[in-house]
A and B are shown apart, each in its own frame.
Chain A
Amino acid sequence: MTSAASTVIPSRLRPAWIVAAGAVLVAAVALGLALGPVAIDPWRSLVEIVGHLPFVHVHSGLSPQQAGIVWELRLPRVVLGVLVGSMLALSGAAYQGVFRNPLADPYLLGAAAGAGLGVTLVITSGYVSNGGFLDPAPLAAFAGALSAAFLAYAIGAIGGRLRTPATLLLAGVAVMSFLTALQTYVQQRHADTIRTVYDWILGRLTTASWSDVVLVLPYFVVTSVVLVTHGRMLDALGVGDEEAASLGVPVRRVRLTVVAAASLATAAAVSVSGLIGFVGIIVPHTIRLVAGSSYRVILPLSLVFGGAFLALADLAARTTLSPAEIPIGVVTAVVGAPFFVVVLRTTKGTVG
């Protein structure tokens, strides 16, 4: 006799979810391309892009002017939004897993503020981005983000056994305030660059160009591969450091690798787009609620849905008060802050 249990399968990424995520992403991209001061048919915009692929010969029927808007203005912005959203959501999910804390987020941990300080120092030093692989902005951002994440973790660990999920968060807020203060100080001391820094801080997908995309792409590829392959390790870390070690998880190495990769992703995102908060909390949490708590599912889905989410947030940012633009960080905060309160209420006392 076959028992009911033999038909049960373990948590994994179900094909339906991959299809759904892909569809949402394509829809978000199509909307991002189609909507704006000049309305363009979404389907034709997609066809126009597909037509640019090698060996594909299709004609979108768009005028050269429309094609130019899609290809030179909107597409780089949409692609950059997708990459930044993916990296922020993925690093949020990774921080949550590695710190066993559902409230961890690149923004709230102070990692984004650390990256912000790094970039501000680069801008105020008078350096002009060259868009190359060794651009100093992402590297400075990485150093800042990594230091901030470890600092928040170290301060949060001082409480020892008394610490709760909120302790790490409080430590993160302290680190964030401190780094933001430093950043503001540096910014004020350099009146000549204040406008550049300020524009960048509020989120700067506005000036997105293909060179920004080229700048973040290598970081995106490396950090996504590293983080998505660590899903099972993060699931095992859920039972605590000591038990995870008894299950054969090299705890220190996993923690170091994941924090470094998540901080690198945060830094890359921040260095091209400024400080955009809450993506790292909204996206992984929604996925956790609908698709389950395994990081083997949360990480890859955060990658895709994070991209779609930020593409849509950017769409809201530039169409709501058109022709004026709302900074994208304002849009994500308006959605994210109330969402955060809900997460805070539902996670109370469920983690140690």
Chain B
Amino acid sequence: MTAAISCREISVVVEKHTLLEDVSVDVATNEWLCVLGPNGAGKTTLLRAITGALRTATGEIALMGRPIASMHSRERARLVAVVPQVPVIPPGMEVLDYVLLGRTPYHGLLSSIDGHDVEIARDALHELELDRFTTRRVDSLSGGERQRVIVARALAQEAPILLLDEPTSSLDIGHQQDVLELVDRLRRARDLTVVSTMHDLTLAAQYSDRLMLLRDGRVVCEGDEVEVMTAENLERYYGARVAVIDGPYGRAIVPYRPTREEHRDE
């Protein structure tokens, strides 16, 4: 079976800096891949390469078996929807209009938003329990509500692949769980393929099917939590001191402070 996303030895070079080097990864249909790595490892770059926002210097990316280089922007947008880490909210735009932006790839210059599009947008809002926000201005919503509105826009895009860049970074722990539960529910209900970047390792392990660890633009480790989230890996690639605790809810990562002796040694 063709993978939903297939990256073959891709490299991305921006202004002579190599941001990704020789990255190969396949994501199966309906799988959730979580991309981990310290700041600057190339997680966001990978997502941007998949959407075509960044051109690959070498290698090839295919979506649903078709190379993205040969696709028009509208075709690509019908396959991949993105929830960016820091979305730009147009001032004054209402929620329904914002979600309808997700219908852009289905229209050319001369066709306009019709009843079918509005129905899809309303379904997306309903699915995310946002009905009562329909006429609110997006810029007046709280962080958690706004995040769901952005997910609604991505759903209205009806793309089989959903990319999420740090979907939890600006949310409190309760809202983090809400968003991730929501994505998981949508993934199952709509057969979505999900790729997300995450900083919270424990949550990443709980929600994704597979983890991939990037460091300096290269894949250093890939597999399930037991393979990827080891104390050695986290020390080596994040420079972090952590204890790995396996409990009834999965693998938890607990950071710890150096002891007095270690301080003295340094």
Q: Which A residues lie at the B interface, using CB under 8 A?
A: 3-6, 8-12, 229-230, 232-233, 235-236, 238-240, 242-250, 288, 292-294, 296, 350-352
> Once the chains are docked, how many angstroms separate the CA of A230 from the CA of B104?
12
Contact assessment for A243 and B73 in the assembled complex, using a CB-CB cutoff below 8 Å: no
- Distance in Å: Cβ of A346 to nearest Cβ of chain B: 10
Which of B53, B90, B113, B126 has the most A CB atoms < 10 Å from its CB? B90
Tell me whether chain A's interface is mostly helix, strand or loop, or mixed.
loop
Q: A8-B135, A10-B97, A293-B90 are in contact. Are A243 and B84 (CB under 8 A)?
A: yes
> Once the chains are docked, how many angstroms separate the CA of A115 from the CA of B189?
57
Given known contacts A243-B82, A247-B157, A250-B74, what 19 new A-B pairs fall within 8 Å (CB)?
A5-B125, A5-B126, A5-B132, A6-B122, A8-B135, A10-B97, A10-B100, A10-B121, A229-B110, A232-B113, A239-B90, A240-B88, A247-B104, A248-B78, A248-B105, A249-B104, A250-B73, A293-B93, A351-B91
> Once the chains are docked, how many angstroms separate the CA of A263 from the CA of B52?
30
Contact assessment for A3 and B131 in the assembled complex, using a CB-CB cutoff below 8 Å: yes
Which of B48, B53, B73, B105 has the most A CB atoms < 10 Å from its CB? B73
B150-191 residues at the A interface, CB under 8 angstroms? 157
Say yes or no: is B77 at the interface (Cβ < 8 Å to chain A): yes
Q: A245-B53, A350-B91 are in contact. Are A235 and B131 (CB under 8 A)?
A: no
Say yes or no: is B42 at the interface (Cβ < 8 Å to chain A): no
- Looking across the interface, which residue of chain B has its beta carbon closest to that of A247? B104
| B residues in contact with A293, CB < 8 Å | 90-93
> Once the chains are docked, how many angstroms separate the CA of A8 from the CA of B78?
26
Say yes or no: is B64 at the interface (Cβ < 8 Å to chain A): no
B95-127 residues at the A interface, CB under 8 angstroms? 96-97, 100-102, 104-105, 107, 109-110, 112-113, 118, 121-122, 125-126
> Once the chains are docked, how many angstroms separate the CA of A146 from the CA of B80?
35
| B residues in contact with A240, CB < 8 Å | 88
| A residues in contact with B126, CB < 8 Å | 3, 5
Which of A10, A11, A236 has the most B CB atoms < 10 Å from its CB? A10
> Once the chains are docked, how many angstroms separate the CA of A296 from the CA of B101?
13
